[in-house]
Chains A and B, each alone.
Chain A
Amino acid sequence: MPQALEGSQAIARAVALCRPQVVAAYPITPQTHIVENIAKLVADGALECEYVSVESEHSAASVVLGAAAAGARAYTASASQGILLMGEVLYNIAGLRIPLVLTCANRALSAPLSIWNDQQDSMAVRDAGWIQLYCAGNQEAVDTTIQAFRITQETELPVMVCVDGFTLTHTLEPIELPSQEDVDRFLPPFRFARALDPAQPLSLGTLVSPDWFTEARHSQHGALLAAAANIEAADADWAALTGRAWGGLLEVDGPAAARIGILTLGSISGTLQDARAAWPDLPPVRLLRLRAFRPFPAAALRAACEGLETLVVLERALSPGGGGIVTAELCAALYGLDAAPAVRGFAVGLGGRDVPLETYRRAVAAALAPEGGEFAVLDVDLDKLPEADRYPEAGPCAAPPVDSESSR
């Protein structure tokens, strides 16, 4: 039976169902409710686990690294500045091929200081060598957290489960929590083949010369690519157990006849679905949602673009001076494809800026516009800016005008 749970509370309960042996965390908005809930479960005896309250995110990541290397199922969570402070350790965990799970409660990066949601934090560490899964809603966050623990131990790759801060973490929703029996059936006990053990001494984290480093990266890249199969299998097996599947690597939703597609990640996709239902008279739209950003599902994306003339990307981060991050990766994936759709990328919802239903109409209008550049920041109020910063909002591709009567 569904229970009304705050996203963070639901994620904490999902973590507990996975029987972690070591949890280490440092508080940061909007991740705090997750780790507070876990701490309470431990304090109440509902979760038998070592909870380590560390003195920084750098140490949170280092503690779970050490714990997993010593053979324990380990979990941590963070956001924003905390993810950046962990950055060095995140690369290290991945390079060491240490299996563990981290929840990123996505939040903007300072400066300017913002505690609100965008996805700049997880995008900033996209090259760290972690599997990154983005959730559209809290039921998916629960299910993906459980799947993540299985994926990480199968692949020996760390998994970052990304949930939009506040939009998901602080929102109450009816959630179906799986039973302990189901989770135990789905998730075998943790066993790390390279665990530190005096009877079997291994040296982990050695120095390699240029003779070896290239090969190490080659292996790591291959392992990330191969993890796609584990992500899909985990989702399929979970569906067999609970009846809920979340699209594996890429969720594709919409008619085959659609000529317009919109690609996004995270909770925006729910808004787009609602908007599509609200305006049935607009041209048909195929909604694509990247559930896995790492590994990047290039082949699945190419297949999902079949028949599309234009694909609009709505992403909650950007590379200043470069452009859209997802947009660029999408363009690379489509490069050389016969009849590849035109791509129009927009950064939206930055630093907690609301993403209203109207965004959908603007995306459709951008797709229909005869001209368009590859990337722009959407929704900029030029009047707030000094003269010098009022360069055209959308560069060569002006964002389509808002139909004022339908603004929400």
Chain B
Amino acid sequence: MCGAAGRFGVFAMNESGNGTQPGGVDLDALRRRQPRFQGLDGGHRACLGCAQALAARLVLEAAGPDVAVANATGCLEVFTTPWPESAWRVPWLHSLFENAGAVASGMETAFKAQGRAVKVLAFAGDGGTFDIGFQSLSGMIERHHDVLYVCYDNEAYMNTGVQRSSSTPHAAATTTSPAGRERLGKRHLKKDILSIVAAHHMPYAATASVAYPSDLRKKVRRAVAVEGPTFLLIHSPCPLGWGHDGAKSIEVARLAIETGLVPLIELERGELIGAMPIREARPVTDYLKAQARFRHLFVDTPQAHRELEHLQALADHNIEIYGLRGTGPDPRDTASADTVRRGGARWA
């Protein structure tokens, strides 16, 4: 992380105002020389193995430097900007929890009014997207702002200590949907945000996973190239909230895909245009067993058995409706050029 002083709450990459750091390093030249653009620097305060931190880095690698980020309140915002330091190498604005969609709308409108080629990205957690920020996201899409909205989905309010959100999967235990004698974790289904977003005549909406970085980057590039609203839901394991070792984040993320619980799909104007095939679907218990938030399901009671069957049925349903059982290319294939793209198609 870099350190500098400025107006409170405003971290400046440098104070001199000419893109050169006191040490004489030309930031602009440095940026252009990097084989991969690194928009989120190391040294931030995320937990070890935080997939959200990795996901944000991957998004910026693919989106390139000519972007500006509106970040909702949440873990990502907090762990990247402990004043007077910041891990961001792109212009970044955090306002509030529920207004990332609206702040991004304003930024995009302003850049358009000034004729400036800057792609606006909105970053928010699942709480800031599925729940409290849903209205401003819906407004942003309806007004057709040229913004890529990225939801880092760790399936709970992690920043405030693991409370349930409407993205928390059925039966997962959180501090506000705890498992006990009478209850087996969250009683409600995970909201199907992608379909809801897609129902806005959405040009492009997709899911991605940190376990498939080249697929993730490809989807970012695709989204950035669209002139209009796009949405990317990135499944991002949280070792702290899910209860797994930080070293296992990618493994856990991959299991979510391989069981069919989290389908990797792309929608254009609401129509399915692509799905990551699963060669050999694994039982959901492989995924659930890896996390403490589902531990209460592994007891020998009729209720627990029923919940496990229910979760397996949800995965089977995904595999069915999205046609995930496939023989297509190996999803772990990472062949993809990592090019620094500036601005997106509109500005190419």
Residues of A within 8 A of B (CB): 21-22, 24, 49-50, 52-56, 58-59, 62-72, 74, 88-89, 92, 95-97, 194, 196-209, 212, 215-216, 219
| B290 at interface, CB cutoff 8 A | no
Contacts of A24 in B (CB 8 A): 106, 109
Top 6 nearest A-B pairs (CB, nearest first) are: A66-B106, A62-B102, A72-B110, A70-B110, A205-B94, A55-B139
Contact, CB under 8 Å: B138 / A55: yes
Given A203-B10, A207-B77, A208-B8, A74 contacting B96 (CB threshold 8 A): no
Mark interface residues in B89-130 (1 if CB within 8 Å of A CB, else 0): 111111110110111111111111110101000000000000
| B82 CB–A CB distance under 8 Å | yes
CB nearest neighbor in A for B85: A206
Contact at B113–A58, with CB atoms within 8 Å?
A: no
Query: Is A66 touching B83 in the complex (CB atoms < 8 A)?
Result: no
Q: Name which of A54, A95, A201, A212 has the most chain B CB atoms within 10 A of its CB.
A: A201
Cα distance A208–B82 when bound, in Å? 6
Most chain A CB within 10 A, of B19, B83, B102, B108, is at: B102
Q: Taking the complex as formed, is B165 at the interface, i.e. its CB lies under 8 A from any CB of chain A?
A: no
How long is the Cα–Cα vector from A146 to B89 in the complex, in angstroms?
Answer: 37
A193 to chain B: closest residue by CB? B17
Q: Are A96 and B95 in contact (CB under 8 A)?
A: yes
Q: Which residue of A lies closest to B145 (CB)?
A: A52
**What's the Cα separation between A118 and B275 when bound, in Å?**
58
Would you call B99 and A203 a contact (CB within 8 A)?
A: no
**B19:A206 contact, CB within 8 angstroms:** no
Among B71-92, those with CB < 8 Å from A are 71, 77-78, 81-84, 86, 88-92
A355 to B307, CA, bound (A): 67
Residue numbers of B with Cβ under 8 A of A are 6-13, 17, 19, 28, 65-68, 70-71, 77-78, 81-84, 86, 88-96, 98-99, 101-114, 116, 118, 135-136, 138-139, 142-143
B106 and A198: CB pair below 8 A? no
Given A204-B93, A207-B82, 16 new contacts (CB under 8 A): A21-B113, A50-B113, A52-B109, A54-B139, A55-B135, A63-B109, A66-B107, A70-B114, A74-B110, A88-B96, A89-B99, A198-B90, A203-B88, A204-B9, A208-B8, A216-B9
Do A62 and B10 touch (CB < 8 A)? no
Which residue of the partner chain A has the closest CB to B118?
A: A198
- Give the shortest distance, in Å, between B57 (CB) and chain A (any CB): 15
The answer to whether A49 touches B113 (Cβ under 8 A) is yes
A68 to B104, CA, bound (A): 11
The one of B17, B92, B139 in contact with A203, judged by C-beta atoms closer than 8 angstroms, is B92
B2 (CB) vs chain A CBs: closest residue = A203
Chain A: minimal CB distance from B211 (Å): 29
Contact, CB under 8 Å: B139 / A194 = no
Q: Out of B7, B11, B93, B99, name the residue touching A196 (CB < 8 Å).
A: B93
CA distance A96 to B83 in the complex (A): 14
Point out the residue from A63, A70, A206 that lies within 8 Å of B68, measured CB to CB. Answer: A70
CB distance from B195 to the nearest CB of A (A): 20
Select the residue from B19, B88, B101, B139 with max chain A CB neighbours within 10 A: B139
Please state if A66 and B92 are interface contacts (CB–CB under 8 Å): no
A22 engages B82 (CB within 8 Å):
no
If A50-B113, A70-B111, A201-B91 touch, whether A62 touches B106 (CB-CB below 8 Å) is yes
Establish whether residues A194 and B10, one from each chain, have CB atoms under 8 Å apart when the complex forms.
Answer: yes
- Complex Cα distance, B102 from A201, in Å, reads 21
Give the residue name and chain of the A residue nearest to B112 (CB).
Answer: A50
Residues of B within 8 A of A49 (CB): 113
